[in-house]
Amino acid sequence: YRNTEMPMAGTNEIRQLAHTINVLIREFDRQEGWRQQMMQDLAHELRTPLTSLLSRLEAILDGILPSTEENMHKIHTEIERLCRLVDDLEKLSDAEGARFQLNIQRVDMSQLVRDVYEGFVFMSKAKSIRLTFQKPHVPCYAEVDPDRIIQVISNLLSNAIKYTPSGGAVEVGLYPARNEIVVYCQDNGIGISETELTLIFNRFYRVDKSRSRHNASGGIGVGLSIAKALVEAHGGMIGAESVLGKGSKFYFCIEAAD
Ligand code: ADP
């Protein structure tokens, strides 16, 4: 019996369907694996500072550690870091989640980069870093969500200042390249090795984990993954070049507008 209205699927179609199902299952497994890894990393990130806080507070309660201002201050700093961690996680899930919406406007990119630069002048002076802004020779416009792009540039600039020793230099600037605009942030700081360079845009990745964890100003390694998600949401790309001990250049490209 053959139903002429509903033709039977041929062997090729069945094979194609089986292949598609396999691909979907593999993708699902991959995402599930990724989710598990993310939860483990997250648990670790939270447990480490919480355990250290708990033991210090217990020591104070037991009278082993005096409740001096200095000890209280350390605890306060650690709690502040935990709050930043939670803020960063929210920003990350915002940037990668479905509820993330761009408020696109035609923006003078040169003005925008200059504004961000000006916001960092004080911070760089406080660390004796020479911060300069390189203005483009031609007008540079793009259709972007200014708040999100400000967030990306701020992240690159604060990293550049954070990972450059006192006396160093940081330059932020932009230029047109074919139909795109390139925004860059270059420093002569500690640099990143070739192997680490491929990992820094991953969530929770930090080159020197101990340095960041024990240093109150150190982040949790999600800043660059947020920046990447934001740039990619604009259809752009983000990248970095670096030489260990010499410095780094971070840049992102977005389509230029008239
Ligand atoms: P964090 O919050 O740790 O700064 P990021 O995602 O912003 O996290 O950066 C990830 C890692 O990349 C940092 O921990 C640091 O090791 C490295 N990194 C980022 N920017 C620079 C830079 N300009 N120079 C050297 N290393 C950098």
SS3 5: coil
In this structure, how many other beta carbons lie within 10 angstroms of the beta carbon of residue 138? 7
pLDDT in tens, 170-217: 999 999 999 999 999 999 999 999 999 988 888 777 776 554 444 444
The mean of the pLDDT values for the chain is 85
Quick check: pTM over 0.95? no
**DSSP H stretches of helix in 11-163:** 11-61, 69-96, 109-126, 146-162
In this structure, how many other beta carbons lie within 10 angstroms of the beta carbon of residue 221? 21
Ligand 1 centre to CA of 140 (Å) is 28
**What average pLDDT does range 56-84 have in this prediction?**
88
Round to whole Å and give the CA distance between 92 and 199: 17
**What average pLDDT does range 42-54 have in this prediction?**
79
pLDDT of residue 248: 98
ipTM of the complex: 0.97
pLDDT of residue 226: 84
The closest residue, in CA terms, to atom 7 on ligand 1 is 223
Cβ burial, residue 21 (10 Å; 0-12/13-18/19+)? exposed
Q: Provide the angle, in degrees to the nearest 10, between the axes of the packed helices 69-96 and 11-61.
A: 170
The closest residue, in CA terms, to atom 8 on ligand 1 is 221
Q: Measuring from each residue's beta carbon to the nearest atom of ligand 1, which residues come in under 6 Å? A: 159-160, 163, 187, 189-192, 200, 205-207, 212, 218-224, 248
pLDDT of residue 5: 54
Confidence band (pLDDT; 50, 70, 90) for 84?
confident
